[in-house]
Chain A
Amino acid sequence: MPIPWLSLFGHFLLFSLLSIGGAITVAPEMQRLLVDQMGLLSPEQFSASIAIAQASPGPNVLFVAVMGYQAAGLAGAATTLLGVMLPSTTLALAAARWGHARRQTPAVRAFKAGMAPIVIGLMFATTWVLGSATPGWAAHLLTLASALLLWRTRMHLVLLVAAGAALGALGWV
C-alpha cells in the first residue's frame, strides 16, 4: 500500500499545534489516523511505540518517530517527527522571546507567579496518572520512594531507574 506522505506530514503538523502538554496528549488522534484511517500500524505496534520510547533515554516525544519508523521506515520517522516538531518549536521560540523581552512588565511577572503553582500541581498529577497505569502497592511504593529520594538525596537518577528495572525484572513490583 502506498504511503500518503503529504497527508501524513500535514496531519502531524496539525497535531503539533494541538499538543499542549506534550505530544502524548494527541496520541489518541494519532492512533485514529495511523491505525484506523491509514492502516499503517496495528494497535499493538501503536502501543509498543509509546512503551519503547518510555523505556529508552531521551524525550518521550520520540514515540512519534517510532510510529513513523514502524509505519514507513526511516523516511516515515523523519516525516512524523519533523511534522510534530516544526510548528511547536517555532511557536515556542517566538513566544519565549516575546515574553522575555517584556519580563519586567506586570503582565509577564503575573504570568510567572500565577503559573508556578499550577505547573507544580501538574507534575504531581502526571505522577498520579502514570502511577495508575502501573497498578499494585509495590509499584506505588517504588514510585513514592523514588520521589522522596530525588527530593531529599543527591542519588544519581540513572541509579534510581536501574534499581527500578532490577526490582521489576526480579518480579518484585
Chain B
Amino acid sequence: MNHASVPTRGPASPGELFLSFTTLALQGFGGVLAVAQRVLCEERGWLSREEFIEILSVAQVLPGPNVCNVALIVGDRFFGLRGALAALGGMMSAPLIIVLGLTALYAQHAANPLVAGALRGMGAVAAGLIAGTGLKLAATLRTNPLGPVACGAFLLCAFVAVALLRWPLAGVLVGLGVIAWALARSRLG
C-alpha cells in the first residue's frame, strides 16, 4: 500500500477476511457501502479513507455490484485470488441464505402494514447512510491534487447530472471522468 501517512495493517488470513466480510455484510441493510467503509477503515484499520475511495472509484467505473467489486479488490490486495474469493464469498454466502429465506416469508406478510411501514423506515435510513458515508469521505478531498474548487465542481456536476437530470450513470462517469482525469493529469505535471 502506498499511503505512508496512514499506517494500515491487514487481516491475518483469508479465513479472517471471509469472517470479517460476512459480519459486515450482515450489518448492511439496504446497502453495504456504509458498513464496509466503517469496518474496513475505522474498526479494522485495513484501509485508509484514501485507499477506500480509490478502490471504490475502480469498483464504480467497472460493471458489477460496487460493494462486491470492493470486496474482491480488497481481498486480492491482501491474499491474491484466494483472498478475493474469500472476501466475496464472505460478502455473499450468509446474506444469500437469508434473502432466499425471506423470499419465502415475504409472500405471507407483504400486505401487513407493520411490515410495509418498517421497510419504508429502513429504506429512509439506508438512503441517509450513503450520504453520511459521502460526507465522511469528502474529508479526503482536502489533499486532492485537483484543488478544492475543481473538486467541488466535479462533485456538484455528478450530483446534478444523476440526481436531478437523471442522466444515465455510465455516460456521466465516462464524460465527467475523462474531464476530471485530464485536469488531474495536467495538475500532476
Interface set of A (CB-CB < 8 Å, partner B) = 16-23, 25, 48-49, 51-62, 65-66, 69-70, 74, 77, 81, 85, 87-89, 91-93, 95-97, 99-100, 103-104, 106-107, 109-131, 133-134, 139-140, 142-151, 157-158, 160-161, 163-173
Contacts of A172 in B (CB 8 A): 121
- Give the CA-CA distance A89 to B65 in the complex, in Å: 9
How many B residues touch A, CB cutoff 8 Å?
A: 109
B181 and A146 within 8 A (CB): no
B27 and A22 within 8 A (CB): no
Main secondary structure of the interface of B (DSSP, over half): helix
B99 and A56 within 8 A (CB): yes
- Give the CA-CA distance A6 to B98 in the complex, in Å: 27
B170 and A120 within 8 A (CB): no
Contacts of A53 in B (CB 8 A): 99
A52 and B121 within 8 A (CB): no
A92 and B69 within 8 A (CB): yes
Q: What are 12 A-to-B residue pairs whose CB atoms are below 8 Å? A: A53-B99, A55-B102, A62-B95, A113-B145, A115-B177, A117-B146, A129-B163, A131-B128, A143-B125, A164-B124, A166-B121, A169-B121
Residue from the set A21, A61, A165, A170 with the largest chain B CB neighbour count within 10 Å: A21
Instruction: Name A20's contact: one of B26, B61, B72, B151 (CB within 8 Å).
Output: B61
Residues facing A in B91-113 (CB within 8 A) are 91-92, 94-96, 98-100, 102-103, 106, 110, 113
Main secondary structure of the interface of A (DSSP, over half): helix
A95 and B58 within 8 A (CB): yes
Say if the beta carbon of B156 comes within 8 Å of chain A.
yes
Please give the distance in Å from B26's CB to the nearest CB on chain A: 5
